[in-house]
Structures are given as C-alpha cells and as structure tokens.
Structure 1
Amino acid sequence: MSQQKFARESFTIMNELVLPNDTNPLNNLMGGRLLHWMDIAAAISAQKHCNRIVVTASVDNVSFKHPIKLGDVISIEAQVTRAFNTSVEVRLTVWAQNIPSATRVKSNEAFYTFVAIDEQGKTMAVPRLIPETAEEQKLYDEALYRRELRLVLAGKLKPKDAKELQNLFKEVVKD
C-alpha cells in the first residue's frame, strides 16, 4: 500500500435522481435517504484513499440548508480531508439541481469519519494525505479541531486533553 496519496485521488461525485419512493408527503427528499446516499459516497471516497474496506465511525452534524424536491438531481461531492492513524475524515457537499429551471443550490454539508479494516475486522494504518490546494490545506488543518471535538463529544477524550481545541479557543478569545 502507498504511504501517501494526494487529496484529488479520493474525490468522488455521486449523482442520484429523486424519485417518488425517496420523498415524504411534501415531495421533499427524506433525510434518511440522503444520509444513506451520503454514507455511500463518503465510503467510496475513503476506500479510494485507503485501498481497503472502511466502516463508518462517525457522522458529524449534517446541516439541511435547502429542501431537495421530487425530480431534482442531487450531486454528492465527497473527498478525504485528512488521514489519521487508522481513520480518515471525509467532507461531503450536496448540491440539488432542478434541471427544467436550470437552478443549482447547495443543500447539505457534513463530515463523516471512516476506519480502515482488514479481512479479520481489525483496524489498519491508512496512507497519509497530501493536500494540494489552499482550500485542501485549510480543511486538512481544521480536521484536527473537528477530530478532537468528535472525541470529546463521544467521551473518548477529556476536554482538558483536547490541546488543539484549547489552542483554538485561546486564539479566538485573543481576537
């Protein structure tokens, strides 16, 4: 397995057409169906980075900014933002496009975390990620804060041990 990969190597776009079976009585895409599709797109991106089977470890807050309507085409963009020891963080952006009206709006965003596993279900080391653009570098750097926050909220890290978050808050208070 390669020891490092460029961020662009994990980029995935998944498209889906919102059909009647995907909607609620208001003809909006059901949130659970969107989360399912987002999980698939994120897993594909994570597996492309790791060259391994991955399992979902966490899903951050998913913000629903704009309803997706029956007949819309959604595009889910997924890209690994950072690799840790055995896990990767994947950023997802969901776009809703109404083809007849030629409109396209950002509907949702989220971060998912995946863990790479071997054939026995044991965690495995993952390749390092090399950010290439300024935006990728920003997401890469901020991933440390998101990771510590996830671990604190899950009770796996004590707030007093969340050094990156403490430093972030010190900087915010200074400004």
Structure 2
Amino acid sequence: MKKYKAGKESRVVISELMLPSHSNFSGKIHGGYILSLMDQIAFACGSKHSEAYCVTASVDKVDFRKPIEVGELVTMKASINHVGTTSMVVGVRVEAENIMTGKVKHCNSSYFTMVAKNDEGKSITVPGLILENETAVRRFVRSIIRKEDASARRDRFKASEFRLEDHIQLLKEYNIQLAL
C-alpha cells in the first residue's frame, strides 16, 4: 500500500438512467434511491483509496437541491476530500442530465465519512492524501472546519449542559406551542 495517494487515484464516476421503478409517488426519483447510490459510490471511492473494505460512519448534510426526473441520466462523482488516521471524507456530487436536450443540473452534494476495516472488522490506517491543487486544499480545509463545527454543535447541546432558559426567547420566533 502506498503511504500517500493523489485524489485522482481514487476518484469514481458512475452514471445510471433513471427508470420508473426508481420513482416515488409524485413521479420524481425517490431520494432514498439516490442516497443508496451515493453510499455505494462513497464505498467504492473509500475502498479504492484505502485498498480495504469500508463502512459508512456518517453522512453530513444532504440537501436535495433539484428533483431528478424519470428518463434523466444521473452521474455521480466521488473523490477523497480528507483523510484521518482510519477515516476518509468522500465528497459526492450528483448531477442529472436530460438526455434529449443535454441540459445538466446539479441535484445534490454530500460528504460521507468512511472508515477502513480489516478482515476482523478492526479499523485500519489509510494512506495519506496528496493535495495537488488549490481545489484539493480547499476541500481538505473545508472538511476540517465541518468536523470542528459538528463537534461544537454536539458539545453545545449535551443534555447535561442544556439550559432551557438560555433558549426560550429563541423559541418564541417559531410556530410552536410549549407544553412543559
């Protein structure tokens, strides 16, 4: 196994035609189906980088920006954005193309944290990442900040430290009724 790998060594791109069997009750492609494909490509990218079986540890921020229609060609692009000791952040971009017009739309992007495992299920060290351009550096730093922000959110709202009186004023701005 290499000590470091360039991002291009692990990139994965898949395309699939969206069929009626992939649609939900409104005739759009079911979000759960897209999430399943995204998880598969994140697995492939992480496994390619680590040269090992990978599991999904977390998925960060999935926003469905635009619906995907039956008959569109969906292309997913996955790349390693960040590596830790045993984990990797895989960025996944989803685009849909109307094959009749050629128009392409960005439907969503997400970040999957994948952990490399050995045959006994123990986490193993992954190769480092060679950052070859400014985009790679930006993605790596963005992953660091996203991880720090997530930790701060978790720490801020620990049940043992949460104080209702600190947040009661904020709640008045929302369509709720407190029944404590």
Alignment-derived partner of residue 45 in structure 2:
45
1:48-127 counterparts in 2 under 5 A? 48-127=48-127
TM-score (norm 1): 0.85
Shift >6 Å, 4+ stretches: none
What are structure 2's unaligned runs of at least 5 residues?
157-180
Q: Greater CA radius of gyration, 1 or 2?
A: 2
The 1-side partners of 2:24 and 2:31 are apart by 9
Q: Deviations over 1:54-109 (max 9, x none)?
A: 00000011111110000001000000001101000000110000101221110111
Q: Deviations over 1:93-140 (max 9, x none)?
A: 100001012211101110000000000000001100011121111001
Alignment-derived partner of residue 12 in structure 1:
12
Q: CA RMSD in A?
A: 1.2
The structure where helix makes up a greater share of residues is 1
Aligned residues: 156
1:139-158 counterparts in 2 under 5 A? 139-153=139-153, 155=154, 158=155
The 2-side partners of 1:95 and 1:80 are apart by 18
SS in 2 for 1:64: coil
The 1-side partners of 2:71 and 2:27 are apart by 9
What are structure 1's unaligned runs of at least 5 residues?
160-175
SS in 2 for 1:91: strand
Identity of aligned residues (%): 31
Alignment-derived partner of residue 132 in structure 1:
132
Alignment-derived partner of residue 33 in structure 1:
33
